[in-house]
Amino acid sequence: MAILPIIEIPDARLRKISEPVETFDAELQQLIDDMFETMYDAPGIGLAAIQVGVARRVLVIDLQEEGEGVKNPRVFINPEFSEPSEEKNVYTEGCLSIPDQFADVERPATIRAKWLDRDGKPHDEVLDGLLATCLQHEVDHLEGIVFTDHLSRMKRDMVLKKLEKLRRQQRAA
């Protein structure tokens, strides 16, 4: 396994629409393993393949609670969702491709999701809570969307200015 470099905005690859996975081979399994290692190292709770420069419809999620030490890795290949609830949830979202920046994002509270797992087995479930939010966030990446696209122009500009200030401070250090 390897820790892969995470691409960050404004890298144009983050705006690319990812291609469906058609072959479940050793290369795909290696990508999944590397994505988990990268996500845990970051640390984060979700990672889409495009965030490591691979434009394939693969994402990994692990909502393990801090300090619990129990991992619950989940793989979503070619995920799609439908039937978004009218009820909304607001979560403070962050993103490994927009480091150290957070903002409240409103999304449907529940969704019906369909995906394939790492072995190609199909799943169809109604998801809610943080898992539903995280899946929507990561599927956005597969469509070339980042969480700041859901913010007002003023809030998005504030987040991006804070990120640029942080980068300048890091370069000066």
pTM tops 0.95: no
List the pLDDT tens digit at each of the 173 positions of the chain.
799 999 999 999 999 999 999 999 999 999 999 999 999 999 999 999 999 999 999 999 999 865 566 788 999 999 999 999 999 999 999 999 999 999 999 999 999 999 999 999 999 999 999 999 999 999 999 999 999 999 999 999 999 999 999 899 988 98
If one looks up domain 12-172 in CATH, what number appears? 3.90.45.10
Q: List, by residue number, the catalytic residues.
A: 138
Helix spans in the chain (H): 26-41, 129-142, 153-172
The Cα-based distances of 27 to 1, 30, 34, 82, 172 in angstroms read 12, 5, 10, 29, 39
Per-domain residue ranges for the chain?
12-172
Parallel/antiparallel/unpaired status of strands 88-95 and 74-82: unpaired
